[in-house]
DNA sequence: CATCGCATGGGACCAAGGTCCAATGGACGT
DNA sequence: ACGTCCATTGGACCTTGGTCCCATGCGATG
């Protein structure tokens, strides 16, 4: 696969901070894009390779905290490094608990920033890999019909075909057909693989009737 | 099951802080035990019900940070609420990233403390449930012989008996015997359940030879 | 050395999974 | 109304899984 250069986004309302961070991070061999506001960043299209966001807490308009919330709610999982002018422990605790990588108080030294960026980009790679895996699974999952999905939830409980048939009030024969299509459409050839796929995208097994 | 009363441990070198927290938390209907040092706490035997630890950062001898490290390394997952005299953001960030529930600066108000305790005890319950599940699985796992464990790792990849036989250079018949014993000893009656158990205790599937 | 646990398998047999081919009927859209 | 997708089912047939009983050989332990 092609190696994508990592990309760092900077959101800060202070032009001098943007300029300083841009030069500093560029000197570390990374691509940088700066934004003067959270809203400007939100309009920016998603990126492909590993990336992270350096975000000022306090800004006019949408604050850094609010931007984090918005990204979380839109399931954008870009790792965030917060920077702030005045230290505020409860705030730091809050954002870290919501998944931020670090919370740096200005002025911070370059090493702390680069350490945080390294960690953020590592995390970004992991997230993107997981995301790609899940997308692939969901793609296959979308090929299933309603009934097939239903049968899937029973199959991953380990129920026998005859038990599934009884639960759905259909013949065992029909279950076999659905089951076969599920295996084919999901591109697996064992129940074990199917169970693992289902776990990765959090498909809950149907309730069991022993 | 019997409902255990939640238990809160307090570790602080300042007697007046211990006394104050003890009275305060008791008034909330919780059991409290206080310790004057990290080492004293470490000698304390484990507890059964949900519990959490309120821990002073700065103490003579073993510090709160060090205690957190020790608990992590001994896989004790009791949720920790840190309290500290002087705010230190990097420190707060560090302990939160290591899993602490909160980081409160003295003086803190009672509500913040009780909120943190509630969250910590909720987390404790979840951890203990997971731990109990895993212990039960490991108990069964310990019943397996070397060979049976080996077969297990192949079974959960979804390999056919004949493929497993080829991989282990034994007859398909023998694989069936081992496999049967695995299912019996693990108390499952389907590969799907077996795969789920294996995931919960992080058993990696054997490499696949299609 | 006798016993026990473990790994190894053969024979026989049945249950369950999986796959052909073929068919019917309902729902939905063009 | 016609075609398409979907759910449903049967028959035939083969492969796999699972379970009896039985047997051998090896290493550890008493």
The confidence score (pLDDT) of residue B210 equals 46
Model confidence pTM above 0.75: yes
User: Which residue pairs from B148-154 have beta carbons closer than 8 angstroms and sit at least 24 positions apart in sequence?
Assistant: B148/B178, B148/B181, B148/B182, B148/B185, B150/B206, B151/B175, B151/B178, B151/B179, B151/B182, B152/B182, B152/B186, B152/B194, B152/B198, B152/B203, B153/B203, B153/B204, B153/B205, B153/B206, B154/B205, B154/B206
Q: Cβ contact (<8 Å) for B89 and A97? A: no
Could you count the other beta carbons within 10 Å of the beta carbon of residue A23? 10
The partner residue sitting opposite B93, judged by closest CB among A96, A158, A199, is: A96
Measure in Å the smallest separation between the Cα of A39 and chain B Cα atoms: 27
The pLDDT of residue B47 is 87
Nearest by CB to residue B158, choosing from A87, A89, A192, is A192
Q: Is A166 exposed, middle or buried (0-12, 13-18, 19+ CB in 10 A)?
A: middle
pLDDT at B59 over 80: yes
Convert the pLDDT of each residue in B116-166 to its tens digit: 999 999 999 999 999 999 999 999 999 999 999 999 999 999 999 999 999
CA nearest to B154, candidates B195, B118, B120: B195
- Give the tokens for residue A183: 């295996």
Interface test with A, best of B100, B154, B161, B195 (most A CBs within 10 A): B195
A193 touches strand C (CB under 7 A): no
| A210-B2-B4 Cα angle (round to 5) | 130
Is A123 in a helix, a strand, or coil?
helix
- Tokens linked to B121: 């005890």
Q: How far is the CA of B138 from the C1' of D29 (A)?
A: 27
Does position A210 have pLDDT exceeding 50, yes or no? no
Residue-wise pLDDT tens digits, A25-79: 999 999 999 999 999 999 988 888 999 999 999 999 999 999 999 999 999 999 9
């Amino acid at each position: 696969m092609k190696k994508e250069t990592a990309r760092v986004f900077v959101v800060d309302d202070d032009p001098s901070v943007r300029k300083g961070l841009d030069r500093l991070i560029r000197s570390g061999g990374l691509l940088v894009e700066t934004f003067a506001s959270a809203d400007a960043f939100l309009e920016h299209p998603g990126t492909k390779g590993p990336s992270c966001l350096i975000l000022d807490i306090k800004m006019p308009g949408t604050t850094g905290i609010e931007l984090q919330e918005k990204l979380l709610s839109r399931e954008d999982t870009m790792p965030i490094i917060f920077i702030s002018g005045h230290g505020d422990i409860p705030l730091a605790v809050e954002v870290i608990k919501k998944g931020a990588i670090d919370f740096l108080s200005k002025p911070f030294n370059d090493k702390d920033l680069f350490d945080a960026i390294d960690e953020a980009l590592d995390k970004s790679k992991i997230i993107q890999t997981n995301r790609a895996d899940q997308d692939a699974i969901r793609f296959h999952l979308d090929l299933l019909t309603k009934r097939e999905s239903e049968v899937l939830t029973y199959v991953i409980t380990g129920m026998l075909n005859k038990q599934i048939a009884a639960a759905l009030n259909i013949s065992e024969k029909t279950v076999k057909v659905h089951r076969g299509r599920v295996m084919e459409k999901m591109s697996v050839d064992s129940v074990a693989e199917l169970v693992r796929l289902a776990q990765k995208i959090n498909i809950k097994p149907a309730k069991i009737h022993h």
